[in-house]
Structure 1
Amino acid sequence: MQRILLLLAIALTLLSSSCISTKKLSYLQEDKASMDSIVEVHRLNKPYRLQVGDLLSIRVKALDQDIVEMFNPTGEGIANATGEEQMYYDGFAVDQHGNIRVPTLGEINVMGYTVEEIREKIEDQLLSEYFKQEANIFVTVKLAGIRYTTIGEIGAGSNVLYKERVTIMEAIANAGGISDVGDREDVKILRQYPHGEEVHHIDLTNLDAVKSEYYYIQPNDLIIVDPLPQKSLGAGTTGIESFRTIGTVISLISTSILLFTRF
């Protein structure tokens, strides 16, 4: 009888510690004390500044488009290339020295500049060296998508989203979401800076995550989702799964005890 009670106590302990609560699985949880949550978001609206490895899309337009064609990519990088592949060949990559090479204009330093500052820089150079104001030069400069990588308890791989700004929730959803055994309370972001790399943390189960300066991802971010302890235990993510697993273990233990007591 004592052995049975001991086994039941062990089973209840394992069951309570092994299954994953909905609190750990739910995103952006609000305060239950209020009916609706009004989130005052104080984001750092600092524009992104270019780094080594970034890819830019640059186009020059004018009233007479023929006179500016020499400044635009030819689109002959590879036959039948589309989307990201085409951008790889037609885009302007920032090299190790922080420069891009633009047709006719040559090398232009863009390291640490915003896309708006680069647009003004190219426009000023075109007007001072090649055209007059009457040509109505129109330059567009954009990041060729926001590229990021995900590893861990999330759809692993490299991803590109063609938007001006991307939240970490959009990035995770695009990667396939976090698994049931992924730690949503401590999602890590490895981010590149001119001085090196830094790791930042964000709790995606808390509604206050939208106030974080890391809620919006940046190009070349690495999003890391570590597993919860329940994964190493292998006891299941729900109560039923855990109960079945623990029941099997207890059954084996009970059988072993009975066999040994008979001898």
Structure 2
Amino acid sequence: MKKVICSILCLLLGAAGLASAQSPDAVPAHGTIEIQVRGIPNDDATAISGQYLLDGNGTIRMPQLPAGQDVLRVVGKTARQIEDMLMAAYKKAELYTAPTFLVKVQSSDMHLTEHIVLVSGGVAMKKNVLWRRGMTLLEAIVGAGDITDFGSRYIQVTRGGKTVTYDYFSIRDRGIPIQPNDRIFVPQRGIFEGRPAKLLP
């Protein structure tokens, strides 16, 4: 009888462990997801859709959302859960009435043999740019199709949890070296933000 009870307890504990385990379809730490959005203006859809690499905290930073609401923790969540999270976040910000999100979780071993740089925000194509030795900030941005008319000249580069802002129109800043797994974010251009007639030192 004791053996039967022990067996039942083991089965129950095993089932509980499986239930609490992370879904195989969930986003792993430092994983990559692809986001597509429909039902919003084309320019906004272009700015939001693309590939996103999770940072060390398991978060992604979404364009257009207000400061303080633009960082979403998605590690351990499935594509469906992230879709619901995105819809709720953009509706809460009262940006769109009926956005539709499609999220794809990419394989966790997709980039094990290569180094990447995530470029997102106001660029033509948000994507993981393949890093190469000697890559500069300008080369990484051009690899994502360059900044758009809606992208700010003040570009944020995050490395090891620290973010530094650089000027896209500065020759010096364009040439800063980029390292593997850097996160480059082009914020939305401010209303009164101008463009210099020529490159700055």
Q: TM-score, normalised by structure 1?
A: 0.29
> Which structure has more RCO (C-alpha within 8 Å, separation ≥ 6)?
1
Q: TM-score, normalised by structure 2?
A: 0.37
Considering fraction of residues, name the structure with more helix.
Answer: 1
